[in-house]
Structure 1
């Protein structure tokens, strides 16, 4: 089950070293995503540890890294603002239960229905959402207890430190990749801010403003088990269920999309349903241990794979190393300037956004370009789950519209004088009208043959169209022969059943996608 591959020392060594690298890079991102969700930084760090550990042990994709993510954090922030952090923990528990059920019922396979334009759109929309969330870090508390935009030297200092952070992250990998550039940037900016006594807000300042407690600090203990302090009634369920449903969908969509990406990079195949269950277990445990939950992280997973991490040991090492940071080095997190975290997040935004979508916009079909823009906009306006569902529906409707005229009926006559119609292409709800319009019933001979050998009867609308065709011909007193229909079609045809000619050798045996068969 663990697939540590300990017998192959080289692989285990790569996993451990890669895991340590990922753990170092996880610290600033987990804290930053906690800020996005409106909770204390330690809540994000606990999530990175718990979600990362559980999914690494039980998940369906070795080498994939999970933790607190921006996609889920942007949904959590409104819940925390309206109802408080305890309701967040209850929501995360329910989120995990929904994800476990999704895995048990085998819903992971449906990620294959997400078209590439939808993936581009959700990635771009996610990058925009993360960027907009960072703008809140440019606000400070005034004497009246209100949040106002930074001004003067404080604003210039913030902007300068952000620029320095981004420059280090961008240029350092060109010199060395021995250590994560984001961690180096945070250390350099922190040392610079302290040594020069710059007027730069740090993590503790943000926690004090967020909690309203001038004595607030960051504790560095182990996460403790506790049942969320919320009323266990229908009113609570009414509050948390919509958020839990959205979070479950977002978490599974991002996790399964990341799983697909890692599959392509490693030329292996993960188990989607098993990953759904593992993500659910991780989020359920997170809610009971005071963590914000999470899902797979595209950026950290890429770091892990590119650093040589392939097995479960890489994710386990990253999680345990992160816990060590929480227990023994949490006091160092307090002095990190907010500008450094914002700089890290801006780099994440730049790396997440698919800039190539601008270049390909004129090359792809207009419908695909529209889907990319639509999904990006819906992601920003609502959330990731709604955006992906909307994108899939629009893409499916576009596909149906484009293929509605792909069913071609060729008319000819055989040696016996019968009119023969050869049906080519899929027959489904979108093409039935065009299918019926191609028959010249008044001018056909008294004996008509319709051959479905090169056609695929896809749904119940197609079956109704065949029945309608039979009714029209019999109403004109003409004999109709339906050949090469599959067995399921023959059983479902209400009016044309007696007109079907059976050919045991040549008749197809595919199944019709219709509710009548259920």
Structure 2
């Protein structure tokens, strides 16, 4: 691709409208190399250098160069870096380095944006859309129910946000992971969720997973994350999970304090007064 850039730009600037112009250029070069070299060998190098210089000047986007520093400082640095690598190293190397750095910066920006969609909530919060019933249930938990709400594609850059939010929230008895609005769950994000669940289970806390369907559920099963919680703690609706969490912490069989039991004890089901298995 990098080897055909100049020819493509020149074709477009001279009025080319289709890929046929690129094919025509390639055919002419092939003819010159294979059969017409004797006709072109007498052209002075100074003439060829002048043509190359004129083409190089014409393909520069001068209007963008004037405001590159205003549009984006990082973008301008990448562009000038690619220009220097083109001159002193090689065009293909320059394009490869430029694309690599641009991709890293784009991934970092997307990760920062996605990190904002990772929220740990223990009381009513307008940051996410909740029904009045869900808000009442969460408020009734009095901070002992932690709702971990995730939304959007969970790429690897979000793992740090998941770990950070989980480490900040300590005083809770029930952890609810809401994956209802997660269309894609990456490997690193899955491992971050696994670590958070293991940490909660090791401390004797109850864990629910909400809204895991399709590929999200398959990913959790493949990583054996669902094996860390009782099967009846995998729920489709957030309201039902909040109801069961509230029943857990208000049940006479529950002490209301951090459980000092091992993970297997923490996962034993409790029968409530209405005989509902939670």
Task: State the Cα deviation string for residues 395-449 of structure 1 (Å, max 9, x = none).
Answer: 22222333333323141444162332222344332221222211344212x2221
2:49 match: 342
Aligned residues: 209
Q: Distance in 1 between matches of 2:30 and 2:175?
A: 74
Q: Distance in 2 between matches of 1:395 and 1:314?
A: 27
Pair 1:475-2:205 in alignment:
no
Task: State the Cα deviation string for residues 81-132 of structure 1 (Å, max 9, x = none).
Answer: xxxxxxxxxxxxxxxxxxxxxxxxxxxxxxxxxxxxxxxxxxxxxxxxxxxx
TM-score under structure 1 normalisation? 0.35
Pair 1:466-2:173 in alignment:
no
Q: Distance in 2 between matches of 1:328 and 1:480?
A: 76
Pair 1:373-2:75 in alignment:
no
Pair 1:489-2:213 in alignment:
no
Deviation at 1:335, TM superposition (A): 5.4
Pick one of 221, 224, 234 that aligns with 1:501. 234
CA contact 1:375–1:390 (8 Å) conserved in 2: yes
The aligned runs of 1:128-207 (5 Å cut-off) are: none
CA contact 1:441–1:473 (8 Å) conserved in 2: no
Deviation at 1:327, TM superposition (A): 7.2
Q: Distance in 2 between matches of 1:456 and 1:448?
A: 21
What secondary structure, in the 3-state scheme, does the structure 2 residue paired with 1:482 have? strand
1:384 match: 91
2:170 match: 442
CA RMSD across the alignment:
3.7
Task: State the Cα deviation string for residues 34-93 of structure 1 (Å, max 9, x = none).
Answer: xxxxxxxxxxxxxxxxxxxxxxxxxxxxxxxxxxxxxxxxxxxxxxxxxxxxxxxxxxxx
CA contact 2:163–2:192 (8 Å) conserved in 1: yes
Change (3 A) 1:329 1:488: closer
5+ long unaligned stretches in structure 1? 1-251, 259-295, 505-518
Deviation at 1:471, TM superposition (A): 0.7
What secondary structure, in the 3-state scheme, does the structure 1 residue paired with 2:182 have? strand
Deviation at 1:460, TM superposition (A): 1.4
Deviation at 1:384, TM superposition (A): 2.6
Change (3 A) 1:303 1:431: closer
Pick one of 116, 121, 128 that aligns with 1:411. 121
Pick one of 151, 154, 176 that aligns with 1:427. 154
The aligned runs of 1:264-275 (5 Å cut-off) are: none
TM-score under structure 2 normalisation? 0.60
Q: Distance in 2 between matches of 1:442 and 1:314?
A: 62
Q: Distance in 2 between matches of 1:365 and 1:435?
A: 29
Deviation at 1:464, TM superposition (A): 0.7
CA contact 1:463–1:492 (8 Å) conserved in 2: no
The aligned runs of 1:60-71 (5 Å cut-off) are: none
Deviation at 1:359, TM superposition (A): 1.7
Greater relative contact order (Cα < 8 A, sep 6+): 1
